[in-house]
Amino acid sequence: MLKTTDNKDRLMMIAFTVAVLAAPVILAPFGAGYPDLMQRFAIYGIFAIGFNLLFGLTGYLSFGHAAFLGVGSYAAVWMLKLLSVNVIPAIIFAVVISGLFALLIGYVSLRRSGIYFSILTLAFAQMSYNLAYSVLTPITNGETGLQMDLDDPRILDAATAPGQLPPPSLFGLEMGDTHYLSFMGLDLQLNVGFYVCAAILILMFYISLRIFRSPFGMLLRAIKSNQTRLNYTGVHTRPYALVVFVISGMYAGLAGALLVCMDPLAGPERMQWTASGEVVLMTIMGGAGTLIGPVLGACIIKYFENIFSRVNDAVVSNWFSGLPDSLGDFFSAIVSPFLGSGWQMSLGLIFMLVIIFLPGGLMEGVTRLIGWLGRLFRSRNNDEDAETTSAKESSPDPHSSRPASPKES
Amino acid sequence: MAILEVKGVNKRFGGLLALDDVNLSVAENSIHAVIGPNGAGKSTLLNCFVGKLLPDSGSILFNNQSLLGLPPYRINQVGISRVFQTPEVFQDLTILENVMIPALAHRDGAFHLAPFKSLSREHDIREQAERILDSVSLLDERHNLASAMSRGNKRRLEMAMCLVQKPKLLLLDEPTAGMSRADTNNTIDLLKTISEDHEITFVVIEHDMTVVFSLADRISVMAQGHVIVEDHPDNIKGHPKVKEAYLGTAETA
């Protein structure tokens, strides 16, 4: 039993690695194969994986995780400013600082559970946001946001051409470098920044997998299930919860650092409560407590934010240009509020549908689909064995169900 | 010889004196029952043993070590396990995992961090858990979720979770409460087998007289926060003070 789990995990790890590395190929047909968006997929994937370690395993719903993202971002920019444009020290420093910050907040917040814990974390995050916005302006540069400057010391770097800001790089490989490639009719964009993020995402996914499968992970699930029982079983629950809170905060800090490495700018809005809510949404949408779910949720939400929001009225009316004028206007009137600036409306609709029909998130849908296909396959095999005489012609065509364009609501 | 020594314990909730100078001495490897009518203070006493409540005064010694002020997990670590009135198990985990957790807690202590160790490498823990599950005949269902179990089976599972830690003292809070006659008899048999197979001292809090008289080596009767009698079961049955506590005296009735 446990042996097969090991094998399944190995398979999942390989599949995940291949899928992430081949992302430019997979995403290109969806119009999402450009570096900026793919970097976001990977970075917010890391953020959601970390959040899921806390929420998915222990059930502690942190509503202030964006604070760690923000702290990581600021820490990374400072490293880029002071030390070097190499991303490695920036990432390490950001992870350490956000870990310390999480230790502080977690130590206080974990004295309470349930809604009180959520409110405490929310309060801390809003406090951090307001500090970054006003009081700590010397460190955060307030509303404008912190960015690199020509006068920065960058003590480890050789002098660059005057009047030119060096971009963040990994030992000379610039994050913004992109190679264009044509492959099977697709225009692929292979970007250094994305592959740095992808490599880290794969590593972070592996760490999360190991935690899920460890005795530590089992204890964390027990915290979610019955904390009272666990206390009377001889386990001191709070340090376990604190450790996973810190790990989770470090994941968020890492994501924040990567955001800065891709685009060296950190603003206070990164810490706002909407950003904290977003990662909750990603995790629940994909499937809290599952391994791949959070990454899936992150990709979907970032896809909506970046692709759906770009569809404007002209594009929509173009879709219906083949129809008679009045009918086309009618359809575009229905569809357009859900696109463009109204992308959040369709996201909300999908979120509601997922919560109502798939409370375990999209991964529950995937599991159900696999189970259903498995049963279908088995029953078909049985039918053939029994040599059924019925002349029933079934057309097995489970895919190719094109989304219907008119949506009544 | 006494493994648990309770001396002069008082506990007050506002105006109510729940425990009033309670004295109790539990002999090693015996089954000691605490009985009494509703509100006698039995559960309060048990909650003082496990660290959920702190007595206002008095002392509770376990193997000559004071338990006062220790948190529940620490009390479990010195060798006291408890079974709840309604079975408390990890509903979202499998039956096997339910037993592996206490086994890990017994081996590694209250806090031991090994975040990258694979659970499938913990052969010893797994074997221990399976052996205990076999002894309570739950081995075949070990990969099912605990939430799918019947109440009687949850009680068995909870017992297995305690036994895997090899406790010196096992506290049972009304182990047969809300059970059918058949389940009650099964539980009695289970407890008897456990006490024969393991060197464990039991403290049983119970309402059901059949259970008490078929199990206990010694009985303490509580009423209104006092221990009114402590004696051998045979002497308890006809004891006038016990009758009075349960039925009331002729004058007050």
E strands in A265-316: 265-266
Residue ranges of the alpha helices (H) in B38-150?
A: 42-49, 72-77, 95-108, 123-135
Percent of chain B clearing pLDDT 90 (strictly above)? 53
- For the segment B229-252, what is each residue's pLDDT rounded down to a tens digit? 888 888 888 788 887 877 766 554
Q: Would you call A341 an interface residue with chain B, using a CB distance cutoff of 8 Å?
A: no
| Of A391 and A283, the one with more pLDDT | A283
Least confident of A300-309, A390-399, B234-243: A390-399
Q: Do A229 and B89 touch (CB under 8 A)?
A: yes
Q: Would you call B90 an interface residue with chain A, using a CB distance cutoff of 8 Å?
A: yes
- Tell me: pLDDT of A13 over 70: yes
Secondary structure class of A361 (helix, strand, coil)? coil
Domain ranges across chain A: 2-279
Average pLDDT over residues A17-37: 89
Tell me, what's the pLDDT at A2? 53
Q: Do A214 and B119 touch (CB under 8 A)?
A: yes
Dihedral of alpha carbons A155, A160, A164, A165, sign = negative
- Tell me: pLDDT of A408 over 60: no
- Tell me: pLDDT of B130 over 80: yes
Question: What phi and psi values does residue B67 have, to the nearest 5 degrees?
Answer: -100, -5
- Tell me: pLDDT of A342 over 50: yes
Q: Would you call B182 an interface residue with chain A, using a CB distance cutoff of 8 Å?
A: no
Q: Do B122 and A215 touch (CB under 8 A)?
A: yes
Residues in chain B with CB shorter than 8 Å from the CB of A224 are: 92
ipTM: 0.90
Mutate to test the interface with A, among B78, B99, B101 (most CBs of A within 10 A): B101
- For the segment A241-295, what is each residue's pLDDT rounded down to a tens digit? 999 999 999 999 999 999 999 988 898 999 999 999 999 999 999 999 999 999 9
- Tell me: pLDDT of A164 over 60: yes
Mean of the per-residue pLDDT values for chain B? 88
- For the segment A204-244, what is each residue's pLDDT rounded down to a tens digit? 999 999 999 999 999 999 999 999 999 999 999 999 999 99
Residues in chain A with CB shorter than 8 Å from the CB of B101 are: 218-219, 222, 230, 233, 235
Q: Would you call A351 an interface residue with chain B, using a CB distance cutoff of 8 Å?
A: no
The whole-angstrom distance between B201's CA and the closest CA on chain A is 18
Tell me, what's the pLDDT at A386? 60
- Tell me: pLDDT of A9 over 80: yes
Alpha-carbon span A153 to B173, nearest angstrom: 69
Mean of the per-residue pLDDT values for chain A? 86
- For the segment A32-50, what is each residue's pLDDT rounded down to a tens digit? 888 899 999 999 999 999 9
Average pLDDT over residues B36-51: 90
Contact A301, A309 (CB under 8 A): no
Q: Would you call A4 an interface residue with chain B, using a CB distance cutoff of 8 Å?
A: no
pLDDT band with cut points at 50, 70 and 90 for residue B12: very high
pLDDT band with cut points at 50, 70 and 90 for residue A392: very low
Q: Per the structure block, which two tokens stand in for A93?
A: 């420093």
Q: Would you call A239 an interface residue with chain B, using a CB distance cutoff of 8 Å?
A: yes
Q: Do A232 and B102 touch (CB under 8 A)?
A: no
With CA atoms as reference, the chain B residue closest to A229 would be B88
B120: Cβ contacts below 8 Å, ≥ 6 apart: A2, A3, A5, A6, A213
Alpha-carbon span A131 to A123, nearest angstrom: 12
Alpha-carbon span A368 to A36, nearest angstrom: 33
Q: Do A211 and B143 touch (CB under 8 A)?
A: no
